[in-house]
Amino acid sequence: MIRLAEDIGTLAVRVAEAKGGERLKAETEHYLKGQISRMRVTCGSCATRMVKDAAADALRAEPIERPAWDRRTDFLLRLVMAFYPHGLVTERKEGSPSFPRHCLGRMAVFLREVLGTLPYSDLNADASRLLSRFPNVQDGELRRALLGHPPSRLLLLKTLIRLVSAFEHTEDVRAIFMETVRSEAWPNVFRPTPQHFVALCDGLFGELMVMLQNPKEGDDLDQWFGRGATERLLDMLERVAVPA
């Protein structure tokens, strides 16, 4: 990561020199050196901590039991599945549009692959802020609680809009979904169909489209996200909300 930052910094310095001469070049070099120095300190601390943790694990006398994946810490996944219209089931019947609980881990992988690590972490933090406002609400009631809570509206819209942007290339995203969520491990066999992907998109973005078509909501979006935001988002939603 540091090497990449240095390479980008070198390019930025060259551009600064070409555009603004020696003064801008010097200012750019000074800024980049400070940022890269901070990265070295941060990465060095992380590396030291990882080495210490690995050494401590290696010296343990008892076997190490790694914690199981817990979707309760995967706040974005909880938020996304709260909008899945057909719900989660433990035992799914063949042909049912419901989503099996045993594939939640695969759904989390799908979201990470579509969004990328850094955007996923950012959205997961926003989802954590949203869900922390409803500590006693069950998953099945989250959607209603979120939509019925005006103070959460802006943050919810921001999260959904960023998801729309990630889903914009629908065909590619659908291919990733079909491949990543699929499970052939008996007895937890799950072969997703295009209808599952349609349900996911419709659940996430159908309500957003209704909001955008409300003039008051549209005016708010233009103020929050820039003039023309409503039209741009509606264009994306036409391709994403109910894919063919």
Q: In the numeric block, which tokens belong to residue 205?
A: 């973005």
Residue with tokens 């901070």: 38
Winning range, highest mean pLDDT, from 22-31, 42-51, 191-200, 211-220? 191-200
Q: Is 13 exposed, middle or buried (0-12, 13-18, 19+ CB in 10 A)?
A: middle
CA 50 from chain centre, in angstroms, equals 25
CB atoms within 10 A of CB 1: 8
pLDDT value for 113: 93
- The pLDDT value given to residue 49: 66
Residue with the bigger pLDDT between 77 and 238: it is: 77
Judged against a pLDDT cut of 80, whether residue 89 lies above it is answered with yes
Residue 60 has pLDDT above 60, yes or no: no
CA distance 18 to 41: 31
| Dihedral-angle region of residue 116 (phi above 0 means left; psi in -120 to 50 means alpha; beta otherwise) | left
Please write the tens of the pLDDT for every residue from 107-161.
Answer: 999 999 999 988 999 999 999 999 999 988 888 888 889 888 888 888 888 898 8
**CB contact at 8 A, 166 and 173:** yes
The pLDDT of 169-186, averaged and rounded, is 90
Q: How far, CA to CA in Å, does 197 sit from each of 43, 84, 200?
A: 38, 10, 5
Query: In 3D, which of 10, 186, 176 has the Cα closest to residue 106?
Result: 176
72 pLDDT more than 70: no
Per-residue pLDDT at 57 exceeds 60: no
Cα–Cα distance, 195 to 241 (Å, whole number): 13
Q: What is the pLDDT of residue 65?
A: 41
Of residues 31 and 45, which shows the higher confidence score?
A: 31
CA distance 37 to 45: 12
Is pTM beyond 0.75? Reply is no
The counts of H helices and E strands in the chain are 10, 2
pLDDT above 80: residue 193: yes
Torsion on CA atoms 37, 39, 40, 43, rounded to nearest 10: 160
Statement: residue 98 has pLDDT above 60: yes
Q: Which pLDDT score, from 0 to 100, does residue 206 have?
A: 82
Q: What is the mean pLDDT of the chain?
A: 78
In the DSSP assignment, the letter for residue 213 is T
What the block records as the tokens of 189 is: 């066999």
pLDDT in tens, 101-122: 889 999 999 999 999 988 999 9
Local confidence band at 69 (pLDDT 50, 70, 90 cut-offs):
very low
Residue 186: pLDDT band with limits 50, 70, 90: confident
Residue predicted with more confidence, 113 or 68: 113
Q: What is the pLDDT of residue 64?
A: 42
- What span, in angstroms and rounded, lies between the C-alpha atoms of 131 and 78? 9
